[in-house]
Amino acid sequence: MNIRETDIYEEGRNDGVAQGAEQAKIETARNLLNMNLSLEQVVQGTGLSLEIVEQLAKEQESQD
């Protein structure tokens, strides 16, 4: 593997790790919302934006 291939491999790996971390935050936010924490508490606990947490809360409301 040459340097360019190594760089591409590392970039892809890092992207995958970042996506996995974001998915974990979203799953944690869903769990916290199910525990009836406020939107602000979920934002603080997960580091997600208020906009994303609001969207997740709306999705959960429509599923109930």
* Each residue's pLDDT tens digit, 36-58: 999 999 999 999 999 999 999 99
Question: Are the CB atoms for 63 and 33 separated by under 8 Å?
Answer: no
Residue 3: predicted pLDDT = 80
* pLDDT tier for residue 15 given thresholds of 50, 70 and 90: confident
Buried b (16+ CB within 10 A) or exposed e, 13-42: eeeeeeeeeeeebbeebbebbeeebeeeeb
Q: Which two tokens stand for residue 5?
A: 């291939």
Residue 46: predicted pLDDT = 97
Measured CA to CA, the distance from residue 55 to residue 60 in angstroms comes to: 9
* pLDDT higher than 80, residue 60: yes
Q: Which two tokens stand for residue 55?
A: 């969207």
